[in-house]
Amino acid sequence: MRIWHSKGGKVCRVWVSAALAAGRLWREEFIMRLVRRVAGRRALLAGLAVVFPVGMAMLAGVMPVQAQPAQQPTAGAGQVVTVYSYRQPFLIRPVLEAFTRRTGIKVRTAFARKGLLERLRAEGENTPADVVITADFARLWALKKAGLLRPVESEVLRKAVPAHLRDEEGQWFGLTKRARIIVAHKDRVKDGEIARYADLAAPHMKGRVCIRSGKHPYNVALFASMIAHDGRDATRDFLKGLKANLARKPQGNDRAQARAIHEGVCDVALLNSYYLGKMATNEKKPEQKEWYGSLKVIFPEAQGRGTHVNISGGAVVKHAKNPQAGQKLLEFMVSEEAQRMYAALNHEYPVRPGVQPSELVRSWGELREDRLPLTEIARRSREAARLVDEVGLDH
């Protein structure tokens, strides 16, 4: 009792009386009325009163579970490989499941579109991540620049992924390809009217072009590749011409551009190839098939340097706890089996030479791709994003 009356005890007494007071208030205000009208509107308040302690207890219960995976054994069948993914889980789940079936290694993913790089950096050597998967190469390049990746020495990966689609030091690898193509209305645009990206800025396209925001990563990457090929000034002139040719302010997503052509807002647009494939095969949304039906596909620069391609890619994290399993996952993702799955499910181009794209994708014609190393493009993406600002493309 001496403690109770000491100075520290006074603090305790205040807390105890506060708790009692809170309890009394709770009783008076809520519980008593709950008793009075059992099925009344207080039910929810009482429900919350129950949920709160239960919830707290569950939070406490979840925490140790979360701490556990860091101590995973690094060998044996019970292995787990942890993936931070910028790509939607449902896009890669079939491939990851196939990987687990083949190797017995389980995969768990954390998906976010923003902030995974910062997360890796903040977690440092304590990170649970083994592998990062991204939807474009600019992010991979940024991860490498931040020193968050580790070089992977793998004959399998080097053979399966062409040199221009991977990092020269083996820090990241392309897993699938998509071409930044031009789609045009099949009647309103005559053959030969448009064959190069630069034609989008030509005078005869005035008022006929639709694009999504110039700040979208896919567009920024394309503009960066133009800087790499033609230089900054030529690219600025191109962007100015493009802005002058727009039928409407840059807006909407990739599919929205196809819809706009179908509805007659404009005649040509930039699109990622796999969206076209998804629209063409959309059984549940026949209107998208109609959009697709009024389009023709143009592979820009087919006569010249080749069509700009982007990749989805992967890398092993520098502080990976299980780098071998991470490497195995990447190797599996470029295997014939996985590459075929990607091609069939998602209408992406396989990176692995010798694996064919889907029949639909083949029907568009041969893709002759720009072979400039993606690294060369990535290092210019900041400049490209700034050019878009200077020209005021989105405004």
Task: Report the sign of the C-alpha dihedral through residues 245, 221, 256, 193, in that order.
Answer: positive
Using the rule CB under 8 A, which residue among 142, 156, 195, 345 binds other proteins?
Answer: 142
Residue 51 vs 163, nearer CB to other proteins: 51
For residue 90, the number of C-alpha atoms closer than 13 Å in the C-beta half-sphere is 0
Tell me if 16 contacts other proteins by CB under 8 A.
no
* Helix, strand or coil, per DSSP, at residue 272: strand
x-or-dash string of contact with other proteins, 18-57, rule CB under 8 A:
x--x--xx---x-----------xxxxx--x--xx--xx-
Classify strands 173-185 and 295-298 as parallel, antiparallel or unpaired: antiparallel
Total residues contacting other proteins by CB under 8 A comes to 86
Using the rule CB under 8 A, which residue among 82, 176, 235, 245 binds other proteins?
Answer: 82
Ranges of beta strands (E only) in 186-233 are: 209-210
What single DSSP character describes residue 284? S
Tell me if 256 contacts other proteins by CB under 8 A.
yes
x-or-dash string of contact with other proteins, 260-279, rule CB under 8 A:
x-xxxx---------x----
Looking at residues 96 to 125 of the shown chain, list those that interact with other proteins (rule: CB under 8 A): 108-116, 118-119, 122-124
State in angstroms the smallest separation of the CB of 92 from other proteins.
11
Q: How far is CA 113 from CA 84, 87, 91, 119, 175, in A?
A: 10, 7, 14, 12, 18
Using the rule CB under 8 A, which residue among 27, 145, 296, 362 binds other proteins?
Answer: 145
Residue 91 vs 355, nearer CB to other proteins: 91
Q: How far is CA 69 from CA 95, 97, 206, 382, in A?
A: 22, 19, 58, 37
Tell me if 90 contacts other proteins by CB under 8 A.
yes
Which residue from 47, 124, 131 is spatially nearest to 86, judged by alpha carbons? Answer: 131
Which residue from 126, 146, 140, 134 is spatially nearest to 171, judged by alpha carbons? Answer: 140
State in angstroms the smallest separation of the CB of 215 from other proteins.
5
Residue 98 vs 256, nearer CB to other proteins: 256
SS3 of 72-111: the string is CCCCCCCCEEEEEECCCHHHHHHHHHHHHHHHCCEEEEEE
Residue 122 vs 234, nearer CB to other proteins: 122
State in angstroms the smallest separation of the CB of 327 from other proteins.
21
x-or-dash string of contact with other proteins, 305-334, rule CB under 8 A:
------------------------------
Residue 41 vs 190, nearer CB to other proteins: 41
